[in-house]
Amino acid sequence: MRCNGSRGFKLNSKRFSVQRLRARFIYLFNLLDRWRCSYGQALKSLKKGFGKN
């Protein structure tokens, strides 16, 4: 009974870790997308600054 319970727990923790990994991946993807957008805006402002100079 104890062995069966630990096996079930291992399966549950595995599923939990997969969900956490997916959530972290989605978070990183959103962060990267936001960073890329802000980077593009910074590049545009830099070009404007160079154009003024």
Q: For 1-53, how does the pLDDT look when each residue is reduced to its tens digit (9 = 90+)?
A: 455 556 666 666 777 788 889 999 999 999 999 989 898 898 898 888 887 75
**Domain spans of the chain, in order of start:** 23-53
Residue with tokens 């870790």: 17
**Residue 18: what pLDDT?**
86
Q: What is the pLDDT of residue 26?
A: 94
Quick one: pLDDT at residue 48? 87
Q: 6-45 in b/e burial notation, b at 16+ Cβ within 10 A?
A: eeeeeeeeeeeeeeeeeeeeeeeeeeeeeeeeeeeeeeee
- Cα gap 47→39, rounded to integer Å: 12
pLDDT, position 30: 94
Whole-model pTM? 0.49
